[in-house]
Amino acid sequence: MFDAGLIEKRVKLAGANGDPTRNLANCPALVLNADYTPLSYYPLSLWPWQTAVKAVFLDRVAIVASYERQVHSPSLDMKLPSVIALRDYVKPSEFPAFTRFNLFLRDRFACQYCGDNAHLTFDHVVPRRLGGRTSWENIVTACAPCNMKKGGRTPRQANMQLKLPPIRPTSWHLQERGRGFPPGYLHETWRDWLYWDVELEA
């Protein structure tokens, strides 16, 4: 029977095999859908090693690539998966949830008035006092200074130009946005699945 806790204890007692410098906590698995595209780019779809190994044993995923780091138990000796693919395709929803994070991602984490990316908040293009709704089509990312400068006015009244009109994004739209914000660490086995449209180095 699979027991991630038992495996982890035995690994700690036995020491590292294959890659002694890599801690188990630093061995997440990149999760791909059944069509071998990432479930999510931003945040990147990663599972901790325990979840990945359990999914392998339950036959819910296929191992695409592995770390050199190994785990051991009385009945198990395997390399930790670094890339896994779901066996059953998960259909993404057409439209993402209307959240602050997704709003910032749609607007590339930049103020839609001045382009600054510090002290971000959100702004009603048409103020609520003038009947503006809290919706994708009326909310933009704004830095605090621009938000204060605009106040309860429309951009035209405040003589402020929007960089792009606010739209309701699709999930595909946000995924494409997310590809522009790679995390600080990318394991070498992940790169072919994340940035296949980037020109390869000679």
Q: What is the mean pLDDT of residues 167-189?
A: 87
Using an 8 Å Cβ cutoff, are 70 and 77 in contact? yes
* Opening angle at CA 80, ends 46 and 30, nearest 5: 20
Q: Does domain 100-168 have CATH number 3.30.479.10?
A: no
3-state DSSP call for residue 143? strand
Angle among Cα 134, 138, 142 to the nearest 5 degrees reads 95
Predicted confidence (pLDDT) per residue in 91-127, tens digit? 988 999 999 999 999 999 999 999 999 999 999 999 9
Mean pLDDT of 19-38: 84
Domain positions in the chain? 4-92+175-194, 100-168
Look at residue 97 in the predicted model and tell me its pLDDT.
92
Interval 154-183 mean pLDDT: 92
111: number of Cβ within 10 Å: 23
Residue 195: pLDDT band with limits 50, 70, 90 = low
Hey, which bits of the chain come out as E strands? 29-32, 46-47, 61-73, 76-86, 120-124, 139-143
Does pLDDT of 13 surpass 50?
no
CA 44 – CA 47 distance, rounded (Å):
10
pLDDT at 43: 83
Phi and psi torsions of 30, nearest 5° = -75, 130
